[in-house]
Every structure is written in C-alpha cells, then in structure tokens.
Chain A
C-alpha cells in the first residue's frame, strides 16, 4: 500500500501555444489511479486552460478543454483558480467552464469543482502541499 500525499499540479501557462497544458493534464488523469489527494491550481496564464468557448478549428490542434470536465469523474474536484489572475486578464468566473463533480455521499449531488481563491488563500493552499508539480 502506497502512502497518500497531497499533490498539487500548478498550471501557469496558456494552452496550445506550448504543449505544457495538455501534457500536464495527462499526468493529472494518471494520478487519479494512485489514490492521492490531488488538487490543481490555475493562476497567471494557466487560467486560459479552463476558459469556455475554446475553438481550435483554426489551428489544426485537438481541443482538449473538454477533458477538464472529465476530472470530476476521477474524483479530482479541487481546482483552485486565482481571482487576481482572472481580473488581471480582463476575465471573471463566468468566463470559465462549468466544471462539476458528483458527491457520492450526498446522493450524487452535483457540486462545483472550481474553488475561487484570492492570492493569499492560494498561497496557503500551496504551502500545505507535499508534492508540487509544475510544467
């Protein structure tokens, strides 16, 4: 039996311009199989990874934004989004995809996976982690 650690995947880069966002998401999905306490942080340009209305038909790349919606099915339901990063970019919470998970303990009630935090709150969450992976 492996130990359980607090894993945080830190996303600070926009999707498509580089492969970091896509390949980070691939690790996140794999991590679900290891029964760890997984959370994700979206700050700086990382917030663009979960904006709604992504359309990649003009750039010949696969639109992988829908894969974030599957995270809830893997019990990955702590997606911390930094408020300041959104506002600095002229965005707000309504620009993000509606990401949810179903709570088994409450008759599969749908709950939001996105947790809005300010910079200080995100720093607190980061400080609690045991493994921080950034890409």
Chain B
C-alpha cells in the first residue's frame, strides 16, 4: 500500500519533515504544504536529504504555498513536482492511505 505523507512544517524549524523522510517507504509520495514548501529549494542545509528521498519516492509541493513564500519554481530541487489543490486531491486518491506529519 502506498502512502501519501503530508508535511506542513519547515525543515529548518521542526523535526517533522526529517521524521517523515525517516519513515516513508520506497514508492510512497511526499507532499509539502504550508511552511514545509520552503524545503523544496535547492542548495539548502536540507536539500541533500530531500534529494536522496527522490531516488525512491515521489515528492510534490503545493504551488500556492511555494509562491506565497516567494520561492520561484526555478529554484526548486530537480524532480520535485508542483501540484495545485486538485493535484493534492488526486494524490489522496492515488495513494491508499495518508499520514500527516504535524
């Protein structure tokens, strides 16, 4: 069963994002919403961790949250996909379960 992991915390402030990456399985999907969207940027202290997650998991970011925090899509780590709320809904449909890392 594939799981959609929803993260809403900045990896620079809380441990939730790191904990999510430590527990997500190969084939799972990770969606960054709210403050977690800042984790999508390249060349940060967190980007190596997220890049290695991309080897066997899919990573998505909610575009509205990213834009609201002033991060242009061109600054994102390669391989991260931008979705809107409709895409968020699709992710919950296409994964059997969801877990929110609050």
List residues of A whose CB falls within 8 A of some B CB: 10, 12, 43-44, 119, 122-124, 126-132, 134-135
Q: How large is the interface on B (under 10, 10 to 19, 20 to 34, 35 or more residues)?
A: 10 to 19
CA–CA, A43 to B28, complex, Å? 20
Q: Which residues of B contact A (CB under 8 A)?
A: 1, 3, 15-16, 19, 22-25, 28, 96-102
* A73-B42 Cα distance, complex, nearest whole Å: 51
Contact call B97/A132, Cβ cutoff below 8 A: yes
Chain A nearest CB, measured from B56 CB (Å): 13
CB distance from A28 to the nearest CB of B (A): 16
Cα-based distance from A130 to B22 in the complex (angstroms): 20
Q: Is the CB of A12 within 8 A of B97?
A: no
Among A127, A129, A130, A131, the most chain B Cβ lie within 10 Å of the Cβ of A127
Query: Which chain A residue has the least Cβ–Cβ distance from B22?
Result: A119
**Residue in contact with A127 in the complex, picked from B1, B15, B16, B22, CB distance below 8 Å:** B1
Closest to A41 in B: B23
B1 touches A132 (CB 8 A): no
Sample of 19 A–B contacts (CB below 8 Å):
A12-B16, A12-B19, A12-B101, A12-B102, A44-B15, A122-B23, A123-B23, A126-B3, A127-B3, A127-B25, A129-B97, A129-B99, A130-B97, A132-B3, A132-B97, A134-B99, A134-B100, A134-B101, A135-B102
8 other A-B residue contacts (CB within 8 Å) besides A12-B101, A43-B19, A44-B15? A10-B99, A44-B16, A126-B99, A127-B1, A132-B99, A132-B100, A134-B101, A135-B102
A119:B99 contact, CB within 8 angstroms? no
Which residues of A are found within 8 Å of B100, using beta-carbon distances? 132, 134
Residues of chain A with a CB closer than 8 A to B19's CB = 12, 43-44
B41 to chain A, nearest CB (A): 24
Nearest residue (CB) in A for B2 is: A127
Query: Taking CB as reference atom, which chain A residue is nearest B102?
Result: A134
